[in-house]
Amino acid sequence: MTEPAWVAGVVVIPLVGALIAVLAGRRAAPIAVVTAVGAAVAAAALVRQIARDGVVEHAVGGWAAPLGIALRADGLSALFVAAVAVVGTAAIVYALAHPGTPHRFHAAWLLGWAGLAALAVSADAFNLYVALELLTLAGATLVALASEAAALRAALRYILLALAGSLAYLFGVVLLYAAHATLELSALGAAVTPGPVTAVAIAAMVAGLALKSALFPLHGWLPPAYAGAPAASAVVLAGLLGKASFLVLVRLWFEVVPPSLRPDAGLLLGVLGAAGALWGAVLALRQTRLRRLLAYSSVGQLGYLFLVFPLGTGPALAGAVYLVLAHAAAKAALFMAAGSIERACGSDELGALRGLAPRMPLTFLTIGLAGLTLMGLPPSGGFVAKWLLLGASLETGQWWWAIVLVVGGFLAAAYVFRVLRLAFLPAAGAAAIARAPRGAELPALALALVSLGLGLAAAPPLALLGAGP
Amino acid sequence: MTADLLPLWVLLSSLVASVAIFGLSERRVATRTAINLVAAVVKLALVAVMLWGVYQGARYEVRVAFVPGADLLLRSDPLSLLFISLSAVLWLATTIYAVGYLEGAPDRSRFFGFFSLCVASTMGIALAGNLLTFFLFYELLTLSTYPLVVHRGTAASLAAGDRYLAYTLLGGGLLLVGVAWLHATAGGLEFTVGGALPPPGDAAPSYVACFALLVAGLGVKAALVPLHGWLPVAMVAPAPVSALLHAVAVVKAGAFGIARVIYDVYGVRLADTLGLLRPLAAVAATTIVYGSLRALTQDDLKRRLASSTVSQLSYIVLGVATFGQIATVGGLVHLVHQGLMKIVMFFCAGNLADELELHRVSELDGVGRRMPLTMAAFTVAALGMIGLPPVAGFVTKWYLGAGALDAGAPWVVGVLLTSSLLNAAYFLPIVYRAWFGVRREAWPPPAGRLEVRPTLLGPTVVVAALALAAGVFAATELSPLRWVELIAAQEYGP
C-alpha cells in the first residue's frame, strides 16, 4: 500500500476546472478541453499505479481517517475513474462539435466528473454522501440545460427524487455514526452487528441508492430526464452519472452490510433488478422515439447490475462492474448517435431513420457496434459481463437469473434491430437532411469501438478487479 | 510471419478485407474487386500451407487470455482444416461469382464488407479451439449474415431478416446457456480428440441437459426439424448469399458444431454411453425425410434447393450421430460433398435468374438447349445428390449405409433409400424438363459468345468439376474422403 498525494488529482483537477469554467462563461470550452486532458492523465496514472502496486490510500492534507478526508482507490475505483475519463473526454469533444450545445454544459459536466471521481475514491460513508450530492447538483443542471418546459419539469423531478434518495442515504449514515462512531467503510463493516438499528439504517441507505439508481419500480424519473436533456448532457447522464449510486451500493453491500442480512435482502434486490431488466426492455420495445428507447434500455441494463446482490462477490461482481464499464461506453455512444440523428433530421422519431444509413454511415455503424453490448452478443464488453453473470448464476445453482439474462438479451436484440433494420429501408422521401459534423460522429464511433474492445481484451481490466483469467 | 500465427493470418485475411471494403466508396469497383480477389487468393494460399503442415503432423495455435476459465483460442487440427479448406475454395469461387452477379447493383461496398465478415466468422468457427471461442464466432456469423439477407431492402427481405434473427438468436441463446452450464459443471473445455469432458459421475444429468441445449442451439443453423423454418425464407437474399452462406457457411457452422460437440467435447464413446446419439440420429432421420418431402412441392427453384439443403445437412448429423467409424466418415465427408454439390445448384439457379429471369421449376422446359453448360453442371450435382456414382454424393451414401449396418442400425439404410427416392423425385423432373422439355417460343439470345457471363459460368463449371472429382478420385491420397478417414481414426482411437 502506498500514499501518493497526487491521487487527489483525479478529483481536484475536474473540480478546479469546473470552477474556472463557471467563471469563464461563454469561453468555457477551452477550459474543458484542458481539464479533460489533465484529469485523463491523472486517471491513467491511477490505473497504472494500482495495476502495479494494488490499493492506494491517501489522507488529504495529512489528516487521518476519523477527522480528515481519507481516499482509498482499488481496482474498481481505477476502472471507474478510467471510464469517466474516456467517456467524459469523448463527451466534451462531442459537445464542441454538436451544434447547439449550451456553453454551461462544460461547467456542469466537469462538476459531475469531479463528483464521480470523488465517489470512486471515497473510503467513508459521509464522503460518499458529499460525492452523491455533487452529482445531484451536476445531474439536475445537466438536465435543466434544455430550455423546453418538459425538460425543466423532468429536471425538477430529477432533483426532487435524487434529493429524496440522498436524504434517505444520509439518514442511514447518521444512524450508523450514532451507533458506531465511525464512518469509514471497513471500520463500519467490522463494527456493525445485526439488530434493529443496523437494519433500519441499511434499509434506508439501500432504498435511497436504489431510487437514485432507477431500480424498478422506482425508475419513472429516468426516461423523461434522459430523453429531454440536451444531447451532450444525455451522453454523460446515461453513460456515467446513472451508474454512480449503484457503485456506492456495491461498496456498502460488500463492505458494511452484515453477511447475515445479505441473502434475503439480496434476493429482493435481485428480483427487482430482474423485473427492471425485463420491463425496461419491454418498454424500450414500445417506444417510437430513439432517445426514449435508449432511456428505457438503460432502465433494463441497470436492472442486470442488481443481480450481483444475490450472486455475491467473485465473477458476479466482476461481471456487474464490467457491465458498468461496457454500458458506459456503449450507451454514451448511442446517445451521441441519437443526438446527431435528431440534429440531422430535426426529430428522433424512429420513422425519420428510414434510409438515413447511406447519409450517416458512421452513426449507424456506431449504433450497430454499441448495440452489441446492449444485446450482450460477442464480441462486446456486454457479452463478457453477461458471460460472467451467467457463469456465476449457474455455478451457484441460481439458474433462474440465467433465464433473465438470456430472455433480456432477446428483448434487447428486438429493440436494437428495430432501429438497425431501418438502415436497410429505402428513404421515405426527399427530406432535407443536414449532415452530422464528423467531430460529433467520431467520438461516438470511438466509444462504440471501446465497448467492442472490452469484449476482446477482457483480461487486463478483469485482472484489475482481481478476477483475471 | 511465424508459422504458429497461421490461424490468425487466415482469420485476418478476410477481416482486413472486410474493413477495407467498408471504407471504400461505392464507385471504386476495380479496387473493391481487387481487394476481394487478393484476399480470397491469399487465404487460399495460407490454408494450403496450413493444410500441408497439419498433414505432416504440425498443430498451429494462437491463444489470448480472455475470461476466467477460458481463453480465446484458435487452433488448427484436421477437422478444422476440413471445414476451412472447403470454405476457402468456395469463397474464391463465390467471390468471382458475386462480382459478376452484382455488377451494377447498389450498395456493393456494404454487401462485400459483410460478405467478407461472414467468411472471417466462418474461419473463426472452424479454427475455434474451445466452446467459448466457437460461440463468439457463431454469433458473429449470425450478425454478419443478417445484412446480406435483408440486402435488397424490400418488405419480403426484411420480413425474412426478422425471422432469420428470431431463429438464430434463439439458437444462440440456447447455445450460450449450454456452454456456460457445461463450463460451470466441468470447467473450461478445449476441443480434444476423443473428448474433453471428465467422467460424468453425479453430473450425468447435467451432461445430458447441456448436450440437448448445445445441439438445439447448433441445430437452428444446421436446420434440424423443427428449427429449420428460417432457411427457405432466407432465400430472398441474392444468389451468392444463398450459395455460399445458406448452402455452405452458415448451415455447415451448425453441422460442424454438432460434430465438434460429439467428438471433441463429449467424445463419441461418452456420448454413446450417455445415450445421446440415438435421439439425435432419430431427429436427423426425420429431418432427412421431411426436408425431401417439402422439396417435392416447391415450384420456386431456390426454395426447392433450400428444402433439399435441410434434408442433405442431416446426412452429416446422422453420420456423426451414429456410433461407428465408417458412419462417422460418411457424415463428415458429406460436409465437403454437400457443400460442393449444393453450391453448384445455387450458382445454376443464379445463372438462370440472371440470364433468363427464370425462378420456377415449371419454367425450365428446354432450358438445357439455351444454357447447356449450366444445366450440365446442375445435372452432375443433382445426380450426386441422388447418390449416383461417380459423383461425390455416392461416396457419402455408401459410407453412411455401410456404416449404419456396421453399427447395427439397419433402419438408417431404409431412411437413405427413402431419401434417395425422394431426391430423385424432386431433382429428376428439373433435369428432365431442362433437357427434354419443349418450349414454344425461342429463348432470348445470349449477349456474348457464352450462354451467360463468364464470371458466373466459370465458378459454376469449376465447382461442378470438383464435385465430380471428389467422387472419382475419392480413393486417392489427397481426397476429402482420405482426410476424413484420418480424422475418424483418431476420434475412435486405437
Query: Which of these, B270, B296, B288, B377, lies nearest to B330 by C-alpha position?
Result: B288
Neighbour tally for A214: CB within 10 Å: 26
Quick check: B65 and A372 CB within 8 A? Answer: no
Chain B residues with beta carbon closer than 8 angstroms to that of A421: 150, 158, 161-162
Percent of chain A predicted with pLDDT > 70: 96
Confidence of residue A429 (pLDDT cuts 50, 70, 90): low
Average pLDDT in chain A: 90
Is residue B46 over pLDDT 80? yes
B342 in any annotated domain: yes
Neighbour tally for B198: CB within 10 Å: 12
Decide which of A297 and A258 is more confident: A297
Quick check: A406 and B176 CB within 8 A? Answer: yes
Say what the pLDDT of residue B261 is: 95
Is residue A432 over pLDDT 70? no
Domain ranges of chain A: 263-427+435-464
Decide which of A279 and A356 is more confident: A279
Chain A residues with beta carbon closer than 8 angstroms to that of B158: 421, 424-425
Percent of chain A predicted with pLDDT > 90: 68
Interface mutation target, options A417, A425, A454, A456, chain B, most CBs of B under 10 Å: A417
Domains contained in chain B, number: 1
Quick check: A391 and B140 CB within 8 A? Answer: no
Is residue A78 over pLDDT 80? yes
User: What are the pLDDT digits (tens) for B48-63?
Assistant: 999 988 888 888 989 9
B300 in any annotated domain: yes
Phi, psi of B160 (to 5 degrees): -60, -40
DSSP element (H, E) containing B410: none
Chain A residues with beta carbon closer than 8 angstroms to that of B107: 358
C-alpha cell of B234? 432466407
User: What are the pLDDT digits (tens) for B447-491?
Assistant: 888 888 889 999 999 999 999 998 888 888 778 888 888 888 888
B249 in any annotated domain: no
Quick check: A425 and B71 CB within 8 A? Answer: no
Return the bridge partners of B14, or none. none
User: What are the pLDDT digits (tens) for A119-161?
Assistant: 999 988 999 999 999 999 999 999 988 878 888 888 889 999 9
- Give CA–CA dist A88/A81, Å, rounded: 10
Confidence of residue A423 (pLDDT cuts 50, 70, 90): confident
> How many angstroms separate the Cα of A34 from the Cα of each of A15, A18, A93, B243, B413?
13, 11, 12, 55, 77
Min Cα–Cα distance to chain B from A377, Å: 7
Chain center to CA of B394: 18
Min Cα–Cα distance to chain B from A232, Å: 28
- Give CA–CA dist A455/B161, Å, rounded: 26
- Give CA–CA dist B431/B424, Å, rounded: 10
**Shortest CA distance from B160: residue in chain A:** A421
At A270 the three-state DSSP class reads helix
Q: Does A428 touch chain B (CB under 8 A)?
A: no
- Give CA–CA dist B409/A127, Å, rounded: 73
Radius of gyration of chain B (CA): 21
Query: Which of these, B172, B108, B162, B104, lies nearest to B134 by C-alpha position?
Result: B172
Say what the pLDDT of residue B239 is: 87
Is residue A228 over pLDDT 90? no
B305 in any annotated domain: yes
Confidence of residue A99 (pLDDT cuts 50, 70, 90): confident
Say what the pLDDT of residue B39 is: 92
Confidence of residue B1 (pLDDT cuts 50, 70, 90): very low
Chain A residues with beta carbon closer than 8 angstroms to that of B73: none
User: What are the pLDDT digits (tens) for A351-394?
Assistant: 888 888 888 889 999 999 999 999 999 899 999 999 999 999 99
Chain A residues with beta carbon closer than 8 angstroms to that of B172: 377
Chain A residues with beta carbon closer than 8 angstroms to that of B65: 459, 468-469
**Shortest CA distance from A462: residue in chain B:** B67
Chain A residues with beta carbon closer than 8 angstroms to that of B184: 391, 394-395
Question: By the 8 A CB rule, do A185 and A126 touch?
Answer: no
Neighbour tally for B209: CB within 10 Å: 16
B207 in any annotated domain: no
Termini Cα distance of chain A: 24
- Give CA–CA dist B382/B340, Å, rounded: 11
C-alpha cell of A149? 418546459
Min Cα–Cα distance to chain A from B136, Å: 5
A390 → closest Cβ in B72, B136, B180:
B180
Phi, psi of B169 (to 5 degrees): -70, -35
- Range list of β-strands (E), B294-410: none
**Shortest CA distance from B167: residue in chain A:** A410
Decide which of A426 and A81 is more confident: A81
Say what the pLDDT of residue A20 is: 95
User: What are the pLDDT digits (tens) for B86-114?
Assistant: 999 999 999 999 999 988 888 888 899 99
Chain center to CA of A355: 32
- Give CA–CA dist A343/A348, Å, rounded: 8
Question: By the 8 A CB rule, do B14 and B120 touch?
Answer: yes
User: What are the pLDDT digits (tens) for A390-412?
Assistant: 999 999 999 999 999 999 999 99
Quick check: B143 and A377 CB within 8 A? Answer: yes
Interface mutation target, options A394, A401, A421, A424, chain B, most CBs of B under 10 Å: A424
- Give CA–CA dist A280/B150, Å, rounded: 28
Question: By the 8 A CB rule, do B338 and B312 touch?
Answer: yes
Q: Does A377 touch chain B (CB under 8 A)?
A: yes
User: What are the pLDDT digits (tens) for B311-348?
Assistant: 999 999 999 999 989 999 999 999 999 999 999 999 99
- Give CA–CA dist A364/B51, Å, rounded: 39
A378 → closest Cβ in B136, B170, B177:
B136
Interface mutation target, options B143, B154, B181, B213, chain A, most CBs of A under 10 Å: B143
Domain boundaries, position B400? 276-494
B493 in any annotated domain: yes
Q: Does A417 touch chain B (CB under 8 A)?
A: yes
Min Cα–Cα distance to chain A from B172, Å: 9
B328 in any annotated domain: yes
A459 → closest Cβ in B65, B153, B157:
B65
Question: By the 8 A CB rule, do B285 and B412 touch?
Answer: yes
**Shortest CA distance from A469: residue in chain B:** B68
Helix residue ranges, H only, A306-437: 308-311, 315-345, 361-375, 381-395, 399-420
- Give CA–CA dist B289/A313, Å, rounded: 51
Q: What is the DSSP letter of B128?
A: B
DSSP element (H, E) containing B66: strand B61-67
Quick check: B153 and A390 CB within 8 A? Answer: no
Chain B residues with beta carbon closer than 8 angstroms to that of A377: 139, 143, 172
Is residue A61 over pLDDT 80? no
Quick check: B173 and A388 CB within 8 A? Answer: no
- Give CA–CA dist A140/A147, Å, rounded: 13
**Shortest CA distance from A401: residue in chain B:** B177
- Establish, for the pair of chains A and B, how many residue pairs have beta carbons separated by less than 8 Å: 81
**Shortest CA distance from B184: residue in chain A:** A395
Query: Which of these, A346, A341, A343, A347, lies nearest to A423 by C-alpha position?
Result: A341
Q: What is the DSSP letter of A73?
A: E
> Taking residues B193-206, what's their average pLDDT?
87
Q: How many residues does chain A have?
A: 469
Radius of gyration of chain A (CA): 21
Interface of A with B in 116-175 (CB under 8 A): none
What residue type is assigned to position A311 of the chain? Answer: L
Chain B residues with beta carbon closer than 8 angstroms to that of A391: 69, 180, 183-184
Interface residues on B facing A, Cβ-Cβ cutoff 8 A: 64-72, 107, 132, 135-136, 139-140, 143, 146-147, 150-151, 153, 157-158, 161-162, 165, 169-170, 172-173, 176-177, 180-181, 183-184
B212 in any annotated domain: no
**Shortest CA distance from B154: residue in chain A:** A425
